[in-house]
Structure 1
């Protein structure tokens, strides 16, 4: 999941894994997949079950991460240095979701955390909440972009319409 335009100050962090999008292709610690394959009955090593050209090769979570990366990259292309140091994260569900459901409040689709002394600002999207609202892949892509735009606009203190000219004009 690498961006076609790599900028040193622009990162997308996948929350919970501690892995940056630039490092997502490297092998995890422990047994690698190549060592786990078996030579069953002397017929050679097993091949891939799903070819990379087929739609089911990538998981829903990986496709969602790509949508967030595309939206963040689009905003970065428009605004440039203004968004340097901003991190975009994806988490499965918001913290304390059970408490929100018990109180009958709607779960947030994303969150903006201002910069601290240790790290820059972080915009987090909650994958399951956003996916639950959408009925199709096109709606999901539009909603992901809108959530990214809304929280980035909150961070910059501007209206979302001024941040991205096509904000909410696709429906």
Structure 2
């Protein structure tokens, strides 16, 4: 084997730039992450952006709108029954549990408080979104059905007639 001198066989260009090359430049993967290659969007089938910006009202999902209807109904009742509803927790679930054996699918359910302190659960009214949405014709009807379901469960919780809870009626009991 023949050992060549360190400068043998190098071009003048190499000599000119040899002092600029560092260890990281010889191994680019150690210096900076490799960027993924961009693929071309052929025939318009690529990833598309948002159709609506998040701050537009149409961006809200059906679940978000339903939650707003529940909050509106609770706010409507809170003006008159704030002391009675102070310790009540309102929740929304998509469908009632399978263990429900009633003939009719419930629209909402009152769950009394269990236990005391941290281990107990507070009084809770659960509103079921899908059964109510299935019965509603439009958004106005949906808002009224949500209010009716909550009025019915608050009346059951307090042991009074639903007409006492909401004397204005708002659709409760006036079905023809």
Question: TM-score normalized by structure 1?
Answer: 0.64
Q: Could you tell me how far apart the structure 1 residues matched to 2:94 and 2:55 are?
A: 26
Structure 2 residue corresponding to 1:133, chosen from 129, 132, 135: 135
Corresponding residue for residue 64 of structure 1: 66
Please provide the CA RMSD for this pair.
2.5
Which residue is equivalent to 2:111?
Answer: 113
- CA deviations 1:33-56 (Å, max 9, x no partner) are xxxxxxx89xxxx97541345442
Which structure 2 segments of 5+ residues have no match? 1-37, 40-47
Aligned to 2:84: 82
TM-score (norm 2): 0.62
Match of 1:163 in 2: 165
1:91 lines up with 2:89 in the alignment:
no
CA distance in 2, matches of 1:155, 1:141: 21
Count of residue correspondences: 124
Q: Which runs of 5+ in 1 are unaligned?
A: 1-39
**Larger relative contact order (Cα-Cα within 8 Å, sequence gap ≥ 6):** 1
Residues in 2 aligned to 1:158 and 1:119: alpha-carbon distance in whole angstroms: 23
Which protein has the larger Cα radius of gyration, Structure 1 or Structure 2? 2
Match of 1:73 in 2: 75
